[in-house]
Chains A and B, each alone.
Chain A
Amino acid sequence: MNLQGKKVTLHDMCLRDGMHPKRHQISIDQMIDVATALDDAGVPLIEVTHGDGLGGASVNYGFPAASDEEYLDAVVSKLKKAKVSALLLPGIGTVDHLKMAADCGVGTIRVATHCTEADVSEQHIGLARKMGLDTVGFLMMAHMISAEDLLKQALLMESYGANCIYCTDSAGYMMPHDVTERIALLRAKLKPETELGFHGHHNLALGVANSMAAVAAGANRIDGSAAGLGAGAGNTPLEIFAAVMDRMGAVTGVDIFKLMNVAEEKIVPMMDQIVRVDRDSLTLGYAGVYSSFLLFAKRAGAKYGVPSQDILLEMARRKAIGGQEDLIEDVAMELARTRNA
């Protein structure tokens, strides 16, 4: 694998995907503290919102410590070089949230849909592009469909105006060859100027390897988070990936030692539990389950006396996709009933 001289844009997730293991309770002060430290380490792009994106504040996903607007307002003005991105899932957030985020100074909007449903993103991608924002189409749970089917959806998002398309491994299920196949096909068939990105989860401990495969196949944006703070077993640990890129001669523009310090001194102490590959998060990656179901399954398992792994496996059997957190308590109740029957 030759990555010598390749330019890779690192995109940090700990203040968005990292909201999941923090139950959306990261404080505004912590947001500012982490974001400014990442900025100082040279990370060019930092995502900030509720874990489920703009408008995610809900009973279903959890109410955050502060509103998206408060978080964005607080963080954007404190950054010297880094830009802020916001995630938006159509069906949860709306164009009103998008406009609010743009008003707060967000430079990148990432519009996320399930990998087969790109056509619900037309109005949001179209508007973001029209507003002159860096506009990303984010295809989640991309392991569930073939590279060819993923390409069809990517082409839709590109046609709506996305200037960057992500292959998103929301379940941390993919292996490097899965990533290679998908990214290579997108690279071959999308416009040459359309950027490609990869978002990994570390549930099979393949976040770094998969991201390397993505870069080798033509991706130039890679998501990760300092110390891996993210849903499931976390995202690709950004400081590790940055160090690997450095060793391979790729160019990230990041000070890897400063980034290591952010992970060690700011993120790890913030963790409510160590984000790692435990039996539940491993089950996510093994069975292909949406990573943010993890804590919901642990809580429902404890409440109804059923193993959280069984809940996650049942979620996989029912082909649940991102956003279906409401099914978890229902499944736990049903499993409890059948066990007691």
Chain B
Amino acid sequence: MTKKLRAAIIGPGNIGTDLLMKAKRSGWIEPVWMVGIEESEGIKRARDFGMKVSTSGVDGLVPFVKEDNIQIAFDATSAYVHAENSRKLNELGVIMIDLTPAAIGPFCVPPVNLTELLKEGRKENVNMVTCGGQATIPMVYAVSRIQPVEYGEIVATVASKSVGPGTRKNIDEFTRTTAGAIEKIGGAKKGKAIIIVNPAEPPLIMRDTVHCLTKDKPDQKRITDSIHAMVADVQKYVPGYRLTNAPVFDGNRVSISLNVEGLGDFLPKYSGNLDIMTAAALRTAEMYAEAMSTGATK
């Protein structure tokens, strides 16, 4: 029997609760603590799940890290407080999985670069980019691993109800961080990201379009195969990740369109944008747990 990594989740909101429900099913992660800043619905839910809770932020967790053997933490709060949370827990040897746009640590999109990150050894902090990044960067990479991509552009259309106040207050952070990650790990020479927030009722399922401009004429067969293989990789942790149509090839343009439907654990199914974040974060933690149990990553 493998030994599960004991985990804390910071932020008992919708994302944190969804993550908790997913982690409860994990063979590698055992959620133990839920950290909030006050009594709330989310804290109550966490208690009902049998979690230990802090209502005084990370400071309420710190004294128990050693005795409860917390080795990994997920931060689903905001970029503003993430740096402090990360510092306090890193000091105690806890690995931080960052779901905020703070991006202190390296970007991680599991099917794209998690294996590489694991090879580099233990990290104190890894960042999950953005929801749009998790949904689209696998596709940019599916093209760029076949042939050079001069330009990668993504358009993420998300339901208004799935976009929280933090994202709305700083929507530029989404476009900037996503564009940066399209270049850095997607492998495009230049990246651009666009986000559309649509209020339709019933809410629409997250939809993404990925446009790549290849340097040379695209090899249709190899790129199409690569895209399908990558879709299958993402489906391992987000089963509702689907192409809406076959990839379009037009000159040097390759366009890919996707729907991302969530599992509907705590978040509604339409908010695949949030689901793919929690699923990717858990996947990342599980891979670290697996690597640590086999001694590959100390």
Contacts and interface: CB of A to CB of B under 8 A. Distances in A.
Contacts of B155: 60, 323, 326
Across the A-B interface, the 6 shortest Cβ-Cβ residue pairs:
A319-B200, A326-B209, A59-B211, A94-B172, A116-B199, A91-B195
Contact of B253 (A59, A324, A327): A59
Contacts of A334: 244-245
Interface string A96-123: 1000000000000000001011011011
Contacts of B211: 58-60
A91 B153 contact: no
A235 to B, nearest CB: 23
Contacts, number: 88
Contacts of A116: 160, 199
B196 interface: yes
A155 interface: no
A117 B153 contact: no
Contact of B194 (A92, A318, A319): A92
B175 A94 contact: yes
Interface residues of A, number: 29
A327 B153 CA distance: 15
Contacts of A322: 196
A120 B153 contact: no
B175 A120 contact: no
Contacts of B174: 91
A333 interface: yes
22 contacts: A59-B211, A59-B253, A59-B255, A60-B209, A91-B174, A91-B194, A91-B195, A91-B196, A91-B197, A92-B194, A114-B197, A114-B198, A114-B199, A122-B168, A123-B172, A322-B196, A323-B196, A324-B196, A326-B157, A326-B209, A327-B207, A330-B209
Given A91-B194, A330-B257, A120 B244 contact: no
Given A326-B257, A327-B207, A58 B194 contact: yes
A59 B213 CA distance: 9
A116 B175 CA distance: 20
Nearest to A91: B195
